[in-house]
């Protein structure tokens, strides 16, 4: 799916990530953890080709990211569901229209049935016509998750999906992610919430990647 080979990324001055080599195998569930500013978001951005590696090679669906044109990147992103901490909705469109956005931009008709099911799945059926600014943090996160999965992506990348919500809602979002993983999706969740990781490990075979000293390492079972 997505693989990193000796990848380094540096901003102007210092190196943020270096010598990162790993593979996200199909159907795997990974957590990415580390202190704030360690490079979790950067790692995710490298994974969805928002950023290109300074050195090394990132492969997206068997293609080198540096060889992708802007349209190729757009096509690749239709196979990747991205959930941001701040969700990024279009505030002038209703929740339903926002969720259908990945369909809209690829000039495909969205199936209303899927939409209803999906809204029901994330528990937002009654808010289909609401505008994004009217939603609570938890509702927004669940909506973002629904938008990420509407085109049936192979991979879901979530950046602090539980950053703005309480524990109960975190668990609910985690449950949705676990369900998606059981349906065969590859999942990568960046979070600094260790409790969430422990909770997940009780339910599913999840691996934990930790960013420390600019490197991404596979953490042991010692959480």
Which residues of the chain form contacts with another protein (CB under 8 A)?
Answer: 50-51, 70-71, 74-78, 82, 84, 88-93, 97, 101-102, 104-107, 109, 147, 151
Residue 123 burial (CB count, 10 A):
14
Residues forming beta bridges with residue 213, ordered by sequence position: none
Residue 44 burial (CB count, 10 A):
22
Closer CB to another protein, 98 or 181, in the complex: 98
Closer CB to another protein, 52 or 57, in the complex: 52
Q: How far is the CB of 87 from another protein (least distance, A)?
A: 9
Q: Distance between CA atoms of 176 and 82, rounded to whole angstroms?
A: 14
Closer CB to another protein, 80 or 180, in the complex: 80
Residues forming beta bridges with residue 191, ordered by sequence position: none
Q: How far is the CB of 43 from another protein (least distance, A)?
A: 16
- Is the CB of residue 24 less than 8 Å from the CB of residue 2? yes
Q: How far is the CB of 71 from another protein (least distance, A)?
A: 5
Q: Distance between CA atoms of 129 and 145, rounded to whole angstroms?
A: 17
Closer CB to another protein, 73 or 204, in the complex: 73
Q: What are phi and psi of 188, to 5 degrees?
A: -130, 120
Q: How far is the CB of 74 from another protein (least distance, A)?
A: 4
């Amino acid at each position: 799916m997505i693989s990193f080979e000796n990848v380094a990324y540096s901003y102007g001055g210092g190196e943020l990530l270096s010598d990162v080599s790993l593979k996200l195998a199909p159907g795997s569930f990974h957590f990415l953890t580390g202190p704030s500013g360690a490079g979790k978001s950067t790692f995710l951005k490298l994974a969805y080709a928002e950023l290109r590696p300074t050195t090394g090679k990132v492969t997206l669906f068997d293609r080198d990211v540096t060889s992708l044109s802007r349209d190729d990147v757009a096509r690749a992103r239709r196979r990747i569901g991205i959930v941001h901490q701040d969700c990024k909705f279009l505030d002038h469109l209703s929740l339903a229209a926002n969720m259908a956005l990945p369909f809209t931009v690829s000039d495909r008709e969205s199936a209303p049935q899927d939409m209803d099911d999906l809204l029901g799945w994330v528990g937002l059926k009654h808010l289909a016509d609401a505008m994004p600014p009217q939603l609570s943090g938890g509702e927004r996160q669940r909506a973002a998750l629904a938008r990420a999965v509407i085109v049936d992506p192979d991979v879901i990348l979530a950046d602090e999906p539980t950053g703005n919500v309480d524990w109960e809602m975190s668990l609910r979002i985690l449950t949705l992610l676990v369900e998606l993983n059981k349906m065969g999706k590859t999942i990568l969740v960046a979070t600094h919430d260790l409790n969430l990781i422990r909770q997940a490990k009780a339910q599913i075979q999840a691996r934990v990647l930790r960013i420390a000293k600019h490197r991404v390492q596979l953490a042991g079972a010692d959480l």
